[in-house]
Amino acid sequence: MIKGIIFDFDGTIIDTETAWYTAFNEAYGAHGVDLTLEQYSTCIGTSLHSFNPYEYLMTDLNLPIDKQEFRTAVQLRHSKLMELETMRSGIQYYLDSARTAGLKIGLATSSSTEWVEKYLDQLGIREYFDCIRTSDHVVNVKPDPELYIQALSCLGLKPEEAVAIEDSPNGSKAAAAAGMHCVVIPNEITSFLEFDAPHLKTDDLSHLDFEQVLSRRCFEEAVV
């Protein structure tokens, strides 16, 4: 029986990722450079170590751009785009259902605590979470399972007693590596990416019966 649910944040609870890609793509375009989704996707759901979109134009293409001005412009554009974003469909339903069922609710994200708390407060859902683990709590972020392992320990749950809710390949890999079942709800950006970790996929969390998730029946026919 499932006793807890652990949510990813960026792209899962609220679609921050589409806004980031749009902001970066516009900034790159202003310098005559096309930022492909394939290139950008390497930093979705993880750290920026493999590809840093803030620095690529300067470090790899050697364009004469002020790094701080570029970063500030992208962040301001992202903030503007995020004013139009709301919580993704089905998230509130699952939060309320989990609370009613007496489940433990956690959050495991590769983003910083400051970033996450800003939007949790904005969405008014901070009080739902019994445990929050962010990049500030671990050495390695997703796809490393450390975030999920810490969240499980914090909630007092075994891997088989919890379900992860994710949107990205890196996130689903982390959940699988931690020994958890995973429901994947891709957003506009991550829907184009390939997932190679076992998961159950749906385009809208409200389309997935909560009771079936609790019983784990819906995972019996899950495919990669």
| Predicted confidence (pLDDT) per residue in 132-144, tens digit | 999 999 999 999 9
| Residue 132 and residue 197 share a domain | yes
| Residue 24 and residue 9 share a domain | no
Q: Domain total for the chain?
A: 2
The predicted model scores a pTM of 0.86
Ranked by mean pLDDT, the top range of 23-27, 33-37, 197-201 is 23-27
| Residue 135 and residue 65 share a domain | no
Least confident of 38-42, 64-68, 79-83, 106-110: 38-42
Residues catalogued as catalytic: 8, 10
Indicate whether 224 belongs to any domain.
Answer: no
| Residue 104 and residue 62 share a domain | no
Measure the CA–CA gap between 102 and 105, rounded to whole angstroms: 9
Indicate whether 109 belongs to any domain.
Answer: yes
The domain of 27 spans: 16-82
